[in-house]
Structure 1
Amino acid sequence: MNQLEFEHALKALLKQPLNSATFEQVKPVAEALLYSELLPAVSSSLNPLEKRRLFFLLEKFRRYSCSSVSRRQQLKALSQALNVVPLPSTHDTRRLVDPLAKRVGLNEDLNHLKPQLLTLQTRHYSLYS
């Protein structure tokens, strides 16, 4: 995946509620964040909600121990550069939301894809599988 393809996949993902994202939409973004040298070009074109979604994705995937320490540091620095201020969540108490998502005021997360996302963080994972 090149930078342009990554940016396109990321922007498409950020434009929709994360709850409705499919694994096929999340997988290329997750692989790039975990295993490549590609980084999102932080731009002012993101609206506040898209910025929060990007922050959530960066923070979520930087916590996966399968990527290198330097990669996790890159993702942390990028998420900090977004300057996303924690907000109180207005989440629906009938539905569980990832605490990280709640912290930035999102009522959406990737919990519905947890089994598939876990396959991306094994030490045996191959980008070509």
Structure 2
Amino acid sequence: MTDANPNANPNGSLQPAQAALHDIAEHGDNAAALSTLAVSEVLLPVPGGPEEEAEPEAQALQLPVYEQEDGTRLVPVFTSEVRLVEALPDARSYRVVPLAVLSSSWPSDDLTLSIDAGNPDTLTIGGPGVRALAGLSGA
């Protein structure tokens, strides 16, 4: 995996999605930061690696679901390849997906979305909240 633009823009500032996550972590939920996230693209790890992804356009989007010790089932997504590799060093491939597309087709209230898992600015959102993100993006 390569990352042409890791965590920072050329001027050293955080990418918009990461800045929004940081703002939410520091100050709590706010509509502007959540709207920024909703229109962002995220990296979705591909379960099983690239050898199982023969024709990505022909396949339905497969979510990588991890079960936590407390029984919570979560789907991790990341705002950069750097953050993905920090959290899942064995991840071999990913798809770039608009968060609004992911949220508008969220399959279950029992699944939780974790944005930048393992990072101090991690945001975890329950199923109904994930679907609400689609509305913030205008999707």
| TM-score between both structures, scaled by the size of structure 2 | 0.30
TM-score after normalising by structure 1: 0.31
Higher normalized strand content (fraction of residues): 2
